[in-house]
Amino acid sequence: MPAQDRIAEYAEELTAIRRDLHEHPELGFEEVRTSGIVAEKLKGWGIEVTTGIGKTGVIGVIKGNRPGRTVGLRADMDALPIHEQTNLPYASKTPGVMHACGHDGHTTMLLGAARYLAENRDFAGTAVLIFQPAEEGLGGARAMIEEGLFERFPCDEIYGLHNSPFDGPGEIGVKPGPAMAGANFFDITVTGRGGHAARPEATIDPLMIASALVGQLQTIVSRSVPSTSPVVLSVTQIHSGAAYNVIPEQATLCGTIRYFDREAAEIVARRMAEICDGFGRAHGATITLDLRNVFDVLMNDPDHSEHMLAAAAEITGAANARRKTDLVMGSEDFADMLAKVPGAYCTVGHGGDVPLHNAGFVLDDAILPVGAALLARMVETRGAAA
C-alpha cells in the first residue's frame, strides 16, 4: 500500500498526538515532555532510539530490508513564548507558551513517517529521524551538530519541512538554491553618564545617542551594501531608563540582520562597528557591539530539491508541487544541517489563515498525513537511489 494511503488510515491518531503536544508546549531546550513522548512512541514501534543529543534532541534509526543510502529526516519540537488566544479546546495549558509555529505538527508528521517506515521496512537503506530542540533562535541544530549528530549518524542526504498558512492546502513548495536568509543577532550597549534630567549638560545622555544610532544604522543597507544584494537590518528593542526625571547611565539596542551573501553580511558588520565606534567618540560615550551569527543561509541542493518535488507530486499531484523562486528573508536553523549534509527543505500549505508566530495561529490537522507521507516517501525513493 502506498505510504500516503497507509498513513491516512491512522490520521486520527496523528491528530490526537498533535493536539496533545499542542496542549503541552515547551520552549527551546526544555522539550522534556515532548522528547519523552517522541522516544516512547519510537520505542513502541520497535525503533532504535538515542536521546540527549543537543540536550533534548532525539534520534531514531530505522533500517530497511535491503542495503541503500541513509536518508535523514528532521523535525523541530519547540514552542514560542506567546500566550495562546485561539480558544481551541486543546489550546496551550501553559500560560505564555504556545506552539504558534506548528512545530507540534512537524514532530507529529515525523512520528507518522516513523510508524509507517518501522511497520513496513520495505525500503532500501536507512532512515535517520532527527527530532531537534530549540529551532526558534536558540541554536538547537548547532547544538546537535556540535554533539556529533552527523558523525554518530552519518546521512547521505537530509530533508525537512515547514507548514505554511500562506500556501493553499496540499501545496508543497521548494525553492532550489538559496532559499532562506542567514541571520545575525546584535546587542549594542551605549554607556554615557547618568544624572538629573533638568541638567543634561552635566550628563552624557545614552538615550539621545541610542535613538540617533537607530537612524544611522539604517544608512548601512541603503548606502554601503550593493543594492543587488538583499539585506535587512532591523532594530527591534530599545531598553533604557526608569524615571521621568533621571537621565540613565546606559541604553541598549538589539536587533537582527538578514542576508543571503556572506560578503554583504561582513560589510554590515564592519560598518556597524565603525558607526558605533565613531558615535561613541563623537559623544564621549562608550558603545560596545556584540554581533553573532545565529542561522546560516538555507541552501537547497538543486538535485535534492527536484527529488523532493517529485515525491511531493506523487502525494498531492504535480500541480500542487511548486518550484518556488522567491527568496524568503526569514531564517530557519535547518540551514545549519543543510550546510553539513546536502538535502532540501519544503513548505507544506494548509487551511489555516493566521500567520505563524501569531497568538491566534491554528494548524490545520489535515496536513499531518500529507507531511508524514512526504517524509516517508523521501526515504523510500532516495534510499534506493544509485
Q: Which residues bind Ni ion (CB under 5 A)?
A: 101
Whichever of 171 and 333 has its CB closer to Ni ion, that residue is 333
Q: What is the closest distance, in whole angstroms, from the C-beta atom of residue 330 to Ni ion in the complex?
A: 9
Whichever of 102 and 125 has its CB closer to Ni ion, that residue is 102
Asked if 23 contacts 17 with a C-beta cutoff of 8 angstroms, the reply is no
In this structure, which amino acid lies at residue 218?
Answer: Q
For residue 346, give Cα distances in angstroms to 45, 195, 354: 27, 54, 19
Instruction: Report the distance separating Cα 57 and Cα 33, nearest Å.
Output: 12
- Cell output for 357: 508566530
Whichever of 101 and 209 has its CB closer to Ni ion, that residue is 101
For Ni ion, the nearest residue by Cβ is 101
What residues contact 87, with CB distance under 8 A and at least 6 apart? none
Q: What is the closest distance, in whole angstroms, from the C-beta atom of residue 329 to Ni ion in the complex?
A: 15
Q: What is the closest distance, in whole angstroms, from the C-beta atom of residue 318 to Ni ion in the complex?
A: 27
In this structure, which amino acid lies at residue 263?
Answer: E
Q: What is the closest distance, in whole angstroms, from the C-beta atom of residue 142 to Ni ion in the complex?
A: 16
Give the DSSP letter of residue 224: I
Nearest to 94 by CA among 32, 143, 36: 32
Q: What is the closest distance, in whole angstroms, from the C-beta atom of residue 355 to Ni ion in the complex?
A: 12
Whichever of 70 and 347 has its CB closer to Ni ion, that residue is 347
Nearest to 283 by CA among 229, 340, 349, 210: 210
Q: What is the closest distance, in whole angstroms, from the C-beta atom of residue 109 to Ni ion in the complex?
A: 13
Whichever of 259 and 345 has its CB closer to Ni ion, that residue is 345
Whichever of 101 and 231 has its CB closer to Ni ion, that residue is 101
Instruction: Report the distance separating Cα 343 and Cα 323, nearest Å.
Output: 15
Nearest to 26 by CA among 104, 127, 129, 128: 104
Whichever of 125 and 160 has its CB closer to Ni ion, that residue is 160
Whichever of 26 and 205 has its CB closer to Ni ion, that residue is 26
Whichever of 101 and 251 has its CB closer to Ni ion, that residue is 101
In this structure, which amino acid lies at residue 196?
Answer: H
Q: What share of the chain is helix, strand, coil (3-state, %, to 5)?
A: 40, 30, 35
Cα 175–chain centre separation: 16
3-state secondary structure at position 110: helix
Measure the CA dihedral 382/341/79/182, to 10°: -130
Instruction: Report the distance separating Cα 156 and Cα 158, nearest Å.
Output: 7
Q: What is the closest distance, in whole angstroms, from the C-beta atom of residue 252 to Ni ion in the complex?
A: 27
Q: What is the closest distance, in whole angstroms, from the C-beta atom of residue 356 to Ni ion in the complex?
A: 6
Q: What is the closest distance, in whole angstroms, from the C-beta atom of residue 163 to Ni ion in the complex?
A: 8
